Amino acid sequence: MEIEFAPHGTIRVQVVEICGWDETWGALSTLLHTGKNLEAMLRESIGTERHSMLHLIGDILHTFRTHGFLWGDFAPRNMIWSEHEDTIWLVDFERDLEIRDCPISASAFARYARNYSREEFSCFITRQESRDLFKDIVKDDISGYMPTNLIASKRKLALLKTLYGERPCYSMDNLRWAEDLMVFIATPFRIHSTYFFPMEPLDLISAKRGPYGYSSTVMAIKGLGEYERFNELVRQVRSL
């Protein structure tokens, strides 16, 4: 796929070349490409560079939709920007990948973005940047119900059960509320003029206490102000 992106001109978005598969270890090896990881770039960028990067991510999302490319691992950590090659390399394919021969409908793409990518990017961008990036993408989500067995994220399922009890399926309104809450909790905020990234302690809590440890933490901090949220997350990490 190619994107026309000023001031760089044409930028390619490509999948890394596969070198082999190790059946014993269940490991996929790919060709190594040098460049900058988008997660690190989002943490460090400011001003014009940051605005340009977010604009590029929006263009990539639009390109994915028009090309019928639904990449389940669309997260900043899985993208390498190789400036000298004018290429963004996609490097992880553990989750679902669906390639269609036509553009994706607005509702289907909204569900894809909510399900896979919105929280991932919200971990490294401000609330306003997240709104600007996803506002035209997530507004036309599908209606109806989602069977529990189709919810792949263990953390999301644990949060749904904590919020609404255990059910064979959840309404799309229930699902959207849980996803919006996960985005809100993961979004960085300033403490004493320095950005704090909540997903770092949340990942530690999830690793030690599992999905329900994550959901109980979310419930404990969701109504708190930013300073109180910071203090509670620090307290919980210290108690691990």
| Per-residue model confidence as pLDDT tens digits over 13-60 | 877 777 767 667 666 666 666 778 888 888 888 788 888 888 888 888
Helix locations, the chain, DSSP H? 38-44, 47-67, 106-112, 118-122, 127-134, 154-164, 172-186, 199-221, 226-238
Tokens of 146: 């989602």
What pLDDT does 4 receive?
60
Reported pTM: 0.85
Query: Cβ neighbours of residue 119 under 8 Å, at least 6 residues apart?
Result: 179, 182, 183, 186
3-state secondary structure of 88: strand
* Residues of the chain under the 50 pLDDT cut: none
Nearest to 28 by CA among 80, 91, 70, 95: 91
